[in-house]
Amino acid sequence: MRQSIVLVGLLISISATNAADYPIRPVPFTSVEVGSGFWRPRMETNRTVTIPYCFERCEETGRISNFVAAAEKNPDGFEGIYFNDSDVFKIVEGAAYALALKPDPKLDDYLDDLIAKFAAAQEPDGYLYTVKTSGSKSRYGQEPRWTGLGHSHELYNVGHMYEAAVAHYQATGKRNFLDIAIKNADLIAKVFGPKPGQRTDVPGHEEIEIGLVRLARATGNPNYFDLAKFFVQMRGNESKRVKLYGQYAQDHAPVVGQSEAVGHAVRGGYFYAGVADVAALTEDQSYIDAIDRIWQDVVSRKLYLIGSVGQHGAGEGYAGAYQLTNLKAYNETCAAIALAMWNHRMFLLHGDSKYADVLERILYNGFLSGVSLSGDQFFYPNPLECDMQFKFNHGDLQRSPWFGCSCCPSNVVRFLPSIPGYAYAVRDKNLYVNLFLAGQMRTDVDGGEVKLKQDTNYPWSGKIRITVTPEVSRSFSLRLRIPGWVRGEVLPSDLYQYEDATPSKWTVSVNGKPVNADLVNGYAVLDRQWEAGDLVELDLPMPVRRVLANEQIEFDRGRVAIERGPLVYCIEGADHDGKVLNLWLPDDSVLHPEHHQDLLGGVTVLRGEANAVSRQENGTIADRTAAITFIPYFAWCHRGANEMRVWIPRSPDLATVSPIPTIASTSKATASHKHGADTINALADQILPANSIDHEIPRFTWWNHRGTQEWVQYELDKPTMVSKVAVYWFDDTGRGACRVPKSWKLLYRDGDQWKPVDNANDYRTKKDEFIEVQFTPVQTSALRIQVQLQPSFSGGILEWQVQANP
């Protein structure tokens, strides 16, 4: 009951803050009880595993003790990255959601203890930034307040604090955390603003805008909303700013003059969500028009099929129109979450199902892949292909237990339990059903309480039963989303299309009688007088659909992706003897769904026949029929690191044919040192570089050893007579600190000694070509390249070939 009272108070304060607001009101997650089905076990794992696990990691890594160091003004007590405060706040937000859904006295006490640490770390005027208050000897610990806002995350941190504080207040009714947030926000409202003497710069990493609006709603204090609006207005406003941060931080022009999504994808998603908040509360059409344009740019040119954004090499952000690589897709889990938040707000502004369609695509694909079924392993990036060479996950080929920058695990913690709050919404006499999940909810529709109960096995089945129970007989419109994948539409754009875009024949009935419901903005509208116990049955057929990409996406030309219902599917090595990159799917191959309750937490797989290509000993290519199994993309990499692919070739010429084994490729490679993000296998993967600065292929480097003597060696498969090697050096002059070595030589193992080869012709250190070295033939079981790195520089190798003596 306490939670319900708190929520009513919050809703009252929204109207007190501003007369205007989103035209559509979401049903809060605390009014939705998730039943047995797809999402409840994941939410329970988040509550019982992920939350305590992440708090434990925060304790181990100093994220929590940093607040103690700040309270004690202890410069040596601060550990880690300057924005680590935000991780703790996000986990507290998730923990608050968990408390709201299920009381937990132990967790409640833990949060109170943690909040006491926050209070002790807060300075008397409300300032809270542990790296600075502790006096840490790092850059941001020594500079004055509000210095370097482009990268300091000083305001980003407290934005997450505001969200966490409001969530904690919602869940518990306690003001201990809320008062800390209010004190801090009051300080920032004094420092920043349009008045003479106030600062007019903005945070480099957006987030505070969302937090301020949420704080304004919780407290009824319009000053916080005004500050959020000010930060939005000042972004890109060079007439009133000393310095702009540029496109990376969406700060190159005022938002009303922007038309494209640019820069860092997480920052952008948070910012566009904040603009939507300000637009709703000001009814400023210029803001709405701006985010409409930017949203259309994303879904028309920059959105991955899994519903996420971002590329390696593009600053964790947008690489440009149609630049949707697969192997090096970045798709940060945080970016998926920010994109989901933005799309939900777009729905609340416009009431069109296309925004909920994108939201659903994110939830089941781009977001969900970011956390393991066990709840304690995470993806930071989420690529659409894995070749077992490119270590996409910050130096790993599978989910990691934690990261130095662990924004993604902490974001998962807070977002997953909030998902029920995205399921339903109300506008006047209209009740929207956006997500299909088992359970029940209650809300007010046009002045009267209505309860809905959903029974469904979605996303494995498209059959949904909804029991409608108004408090008294009443008339209203129930609006059921008919997803784009049912209507033959991948996205509300031509970025992707179904090979067969024929709409499925969905049906709806009320109390067993078929109803011809009008389809309005993607919603089946049931407008009638509702009685307690009325039963709505919605049947959404789930054919297996083939997806083709816009021809402007060169990386997907000649390829096909597979979907069923809201799920994107992939193939991975665990089902195909470790190899999938050699598979191609004929256009007439039929795929059959099979549900396996004992596989990957219970999934529907798709089985059929494909073809596999392989190279024969004589060098010819064989093409044979092979069984193929597709699994939901979110479930990949739960059976060890292995190859994976979403976009499958439609012809054998695009399948990856393994090269003929060579002396080098059958050897075991080791080195004196290897950078964690590199792979020793790059030495002999037979992928030819375009040049020495080629960042599109796997590489080996000795980074960050500089100016040292290093080595790399092959342990040959068997003693072999060799007489020639060829080396392609890695050199990223103009981009990094790797150079060709100062000098090098080739050694061979003779017994237990390493000896230089005789009569080597030329130990050159030239870029952009293979350096061939011939020498007097030697019989050996191992070869070693020994290098002297240039002073102050590191180095590396893209390919090292070995030739036997004829």
Instruction: Please identify every residue annotated as catalytic.
Output: 316, 407
Please give the structure tokens belonging to residue 61. Answer: 């890594």
**342 Cβ contact list (under 8 Å, min separation 6):** 269, 272, 273, 276, 291, 295
Three-state SS for 98? helix
DSSP letter (8 states) at residue 757: P
CB 36 within 8 A of CB 453: no
Phi-psi region of 522 (alpha: psi -120 to 50; beta: other; left: phi over 0): left
Distance separating alpha carbons of residues 426 and 443, to the nearest angstrom: 8
Q: Give the bridge partners for 339, in sequence order.
A: none
Dmax of the chain from CA atoms? 97
Q: Identify the burial level of 597 via C-beta atoms within 10 angstroms of its C-beta, where 0-12 means exposed, 13-18 middle and 19 or more buried.
A: exposed
Distance separating alpha carbons of residues 639 and 603, to the nearest angstrom: 14
CA 710 to chain centre: 37
Distance separating alpha carbons of residues 345 and 348, to the nearest angstrom: 5
Distance separating alpha carbons of residues 357 and 489, to the nearest angstrom: 10
For residue 121, give the nearest of 79, 65, 55 by alpha carbon. Answer: 65
Beta-strand relationship, 474-481 and 430-433:
parallel
Provide, for the chain, the percentages of residues in helix, strand and coil under a 3-state DSSP scheme, each rounded to the nearest 5.
35, 25, 40
- Long-range contacts, stretch 287-295, CB < 8 angstroms, 24+ apart: 287/232, 287/255, 287/256, 288/349, 289/256, 290/255, 290/256, 290/257, 290/258, 290/259, 291/255, 291/342, 291/346, 293/258, 293/259, 294/258, 294/259, 294/260, 294/261, 295/342, 295/343, 295/346
